[in-house]
Structure 1
Amino acid sequence: MHTVWKGSISFGLVNIPVKLHAATDNKDVKLRQLHKECHTPISYKKVCEGCQAEVKDEDIVKAYEYTKNKFVVLDEEDLENLRKENEDKSVEIIDFVKLEEIDPIYFEKTYYLSPDNTGGKAYVLLRKTLEESGKIGVAKITIRSKEQLAIVRVYKNTLVMEIIHFPDEVRDVGDVPNIPSVEAVVQKELDTALMLVEQLTTEFDPTKYTDDYRTALMQLIEEKKTESTVVANEKRPLPDNVTDLMSALQASLDKTKKPKTRKRATTTRTKKNA
C-alpha cells in the first residue's frame, strides 16, 4: 500500500512513528475525449489570454487575485521557504473528544495509519486508549504543503486519520436559498412517514450498496470492445517545408521535361526520309 506521508504522532509524551496510507479509491470510470473525425486524443494547451501565445511551464508564476484583475505575485522561493517552515513531520494530538460531537459535514478524506518498524507498542497503546475511553483525538497535520485539521480514531483493529474541514471552510447554512420555514405538519402524515421509516430500518451493511451506473458503463464498454475496437490514430508528422519545397521543384521539373519517346520517333522518321 502506497505511503502518502511519513512522520510521527504523539499524545502527551508518547511518540509513535507512523505512515499514512489512502483508505479509499476513486472508482470513477475515466473517459478520454477523441476527435470525432479521426479518433485522435484531444490535448489541452496553456494559452495566455492577453497575447494568445502558448505558455511553457517555466514562464508561469503563481499569484493571488485579491480583487478582480489585481494580483499579488508570489515567488517560488518564498513559497518553498514557507513550506519548509510549516512542514512539521510530527503530529500532536491536541484534544480528545467524542466522535458524535463532530457533524459528518466536516469530514473530507480518510487515511489508514500504520506503525513504523519501531512504533508497534506505542501504536497498540494509543489504539487501546481510544477504545477504552470511547474518545477520538483531534490533531493538525501538514500534507503536500497544506495544513490540515484531523481526527484519529479506531476502525476495526487499525488507527484511522480523518482529514476534516476547518470551521471557516464549511459554508454558512443560512446562505442556503429557499429553505422552508417551520410549518405545521399533519399528524397523520407524520405517523405514516414514521411507520415507513420503521419498516425500512435495518443494520447498516455497506456490501449491499453498489454503483449501478459504473457497473452498467463497464458492461457497455466490454460489449463495445467485442464488437469493434476503435484505435486512435497516431500523431501525424508536421509538414516539413524543405521536403514540400523539394517535392514541388521536382514535380515542376518533371512537368517541363520533353517526352523522350517522341524525340526518338521524330529522329527515325527523318532517317527514313533521307
Structure 2
Amino acid sequence: MHTIWKGTVSFGLVNIPVKLHAATENKDISLRQLHKECHTPIRYDRTCPNCEKEVEKEEIVRGFEYTKNKFVVIEDEELKEIQQAQAERSVEILDFVKLEEIDPIYFDRSYYLSPNEGGSKAYTLLRKALEESGKIGVAKIMIRAKEHLAVLRVYQNTLLMETIHFPDEVRQADLVPNIPEEESISKKELTTAKMLIDQLTTEFDPEKYKDEYRADLIDLIEKKQSGEEVVTAKEPKLDTSNVTDLMDALQESIEKTKKGKKKSTTKKQTSQKKKKNA
C-alpha cells in the first residue's frame, strides 16, 4: 500500500512514528471528450486571453482574487515558507471525544495509519487505549500543502485517521431555501411512516450495496469492445503553414536568382559585342 505521508502521532509524552495510506479509492469510469467528426481527444491548452498565446508552466503565478479582477499575487517561496512552518509539527492529538458527538457532515476522507520503524509498541498502546475507553482522538495534520482537522479511531484492528471539515467549511443549514416549517401531519400518517421504517430496518451490511451504474457502464464498454464497435482517433494535423511559406519563399528566391543570372549574362554578352565592334 502506497505511503503518502510520514510523521509522528503524539498524545501527552507518547510519540508514535507512523505512515499514512489512503483507505479508499475512486473507481469512477473516466470518459474522454472526443471531437464527434474525427474522434480525436479534445485538448485544453493554458492560454492567456489578453496576450492571445499559450502560456508555459514557468510563466504562471498564483493569485487571490479579493474583488472583481483585482488580485494579490502569492509567490511560491512565500507559500513554501508557510507550509514548512506547519509541516514541521507532529500530529498532536488535541482532545479525546466520543465518536457519536461528531455529526457525519464533518467527515471528509479516510486514511490508514501504520507504525513506522520502532513504533509498534506505542501504536498498539494507543489502539488498545482507544478501544477500551471508547473514545477517538481529535488532531491536526498537514497533507499536501493543506492543514486538516482529523480524528483518530480504531477500525478492524488498525488505526484509522479521518480528515474532517473545519466548522467554517460546513454551510449553515438555516441558509437552505424552501425548508418547510411544521406541517399538519396526522397521527395515522406518522404511524404508517414509522411502520414502514420498522419493516425496512436491518443491520448495516456494506457488501449488499453495489455501484450499479458503474457495473452497467463497464458491461457496455466490454460489449462494444468485443463487438469491435471502436473508433480510432486521427493524428492531429501538423501546422504546415510555416513550411509552405518557407518553400514559397525559397522557390521565389530561386526564380529571382535565375532571372538575375539571365540579366547578368545578357549584359555581359552585350558588353562583349560592343568591345568587339569597337
Q: TM-score, normalised by structure 1?
A: 0.87
Inter-partner Cα distance in structure 2 for 1:155 and 1:176: 34
Q: Tell me, yes or no, if structure 1 residue 239 matches structure 2 residue 226.
A: no
**Corresponding position of 2:30:** 30
C-alpha RMSD of the superposition? 1.8
**Corresponding position of 2:276:** none
Inter-partner Cα distance in structure 2 for 1:75 and 1:162: 31
Q: Tell me, yes or no, if structure 1 residue 90 matches structure 2 residue 64.
A: no
Equivalences for 1:87-236 in 2 at 5 Å? Answer: 87-228=87-228, 229-236=230-237
CA shift for structure 1 position 26: 0.5
Q: Deviations over 1:145-198 (max 9, x none)?
A: 111000000001000000000000000111100000012311101100111000
Provide structure 2 residue ranges, at least 5 long, that are not aligned to the other structure.
256-278
- One-letter amino acid of the structure 1 residue matched with residue 32 of structure 2: R
- Contact kept in structure 2, 1:112 and 1:160, CA below 8 Å: yes
Inter-partner Cα distance in structure 2 for 1:137 and 1:242: 67
Inter-partner Cα distance in structure 1 for 2:247 and 2:96: 79
Inter-partner Cα distance in structure 2 for 1:35 and 1:163: 40
**Corresponding position of 1:260:** none
- Secondary structure of the residue aligned to 1:168 is helix
Q: Deviations over 1:112-133 (max 9, x none)?
A: 0000121111111000000000
Inter-partner Cα distance in structure 2 for 1:245 and 1:123: 70
- Secondary structure of the residue aligned to 1:199 is helix
Inter-partner Cα distance in structure 1 for 2:174 and 2:242: 64
CA shift for structure 1 position 238: 2.8
CA shift for structure 1 position 230: 1.7
Sequence identity percentage: 63
Provide structure 1 residue ranges, at least 5 long, that are not aligned to the other structure.
254-274
- One-letter amino acid of the structure 2 residue matched with residue 154 of structure 1: V
**Corresponding position of 2:74:** 74
- Contact kept in structure 2, 1:6 and 1:89, CA below 8 Å: no
CA shift for structure 1 position 59: 1.2
- Contact kept in structure 2, 1:97 and 1:137, CA below 8 Å: yes
CA shift for structure 1 position 58: 1.2
- Contact kept in structure 2, 1:96 and 1:137, CA below 8 Å: yes
4+ runs of 1 displaced by more than 4 Å?
243-250
- One-letter amino acid of the structure 1 residue matched with residue 222 of structure 2: E
**Corresponding position of 2:20:** 20
Inter-partner Cα distance in structure 1 for 2:11 and 2:247: 77
**Corresponding position of 1:49:** 49
Inter-partner Cα distance in structure 2 for 1:62 and 1:246: 43
Q: TM-score, normalised by structure 2?
A: 0.86
- Secondary structure of the residue aligned to 2:47 is coil
- One-letter amino acid of the structure 1 residue matched with residue 53 of structure 2: A
